[in-house]
Amino acid sequence: MTKLEAAMGALGHWLLQLDGGFEILLLVGLSMSLAHLFALVANQLTPRQIVFQLLLDALVLAVALLLATLVDIVLLALVVDEPLQPWALFESLGAALLPGVFYVLVAAPYVSNLIAVTIWALIHLNVVAVLQVRFALPAAQALALATPGYCLALLLVSALFYQGWQRGYRRLADSLGR
């Protein structure tokens, strides 16, 4: 076993010990929504519009992450011999989302893309580590099983944020240009 495999195994064991996948999912959704808060406030939206937008963002983010987990569950069911308990697996995979709690830092100017890419890479690494340890899979197989759900979540989240942020920043630029 290489040092990388040992480190992934240790990470996977630690993540499996964290209980609270649903709570972490809620925190990640809130953190991702709050990253959008600056653009909402800068566009002089009313508090009611801001709360509505934050709740809508959090809901769409939660759905994206749930869909990614469902894709992982379906792919695992095809490969693993043991019966899968979706809720238990969701709790395990929810802990892998822990880096997403810091997504609020993506609102930082100039380095936001680097922070977002780093957080998403860490989330994917965590999911791979959890699958590897939980189901005793080789690292390459865990990576292959985790990647389709990851890509789906990444596409949904980036579509949501790109559209919302671009529209918000265009409105802000228009109002500043007057």
3-state secondary structure of 37: helix
Please give the pLDDT value at position 148.
94
What does pLDDT average to over the chain? 80
Is a pLDDT exceeding 70 seen at residue 98? yes
Please give the pLDDT value at position 156.
84
* Residue 106 included in any domain: yes
What confidence tens digit (pLDDT) does each residue in 106-148 have? 777 778 778 888 998 999 998 898 888 888 888 899 999 999 9
* Residue 178 included in any domain: no
* Residue 177 included in any domain: no
* pTM for the predicted model, two decimal places: 0.77
Instruction: Determine what percent of the chain falls in helix, strand and coil, rounding each to the nearest 5.
Output: 85, 0, 15
What percentage of the chain has pLDDT greater than the value 90? 8
- Please answer whether residues 146 and 12 qualify as being in contact, where contact means their C-beta atoms are separated by less than 8 angstroms: no
Measured CA to CA, the distance from residue 20 to residue 22 in angstroms comes to: 5
What confidence tens digit (pLDDT) does each residue in 139-169 have? 899 999 999 999 998 888 788 776 666 666 6
Which comes out higher in pLDDT, residue 14 or 134? 134
**Count of domains in the chain?**
1
Show the domain range for 12. Answer: 3-172
Please give the pLDDT value at position 9.
77
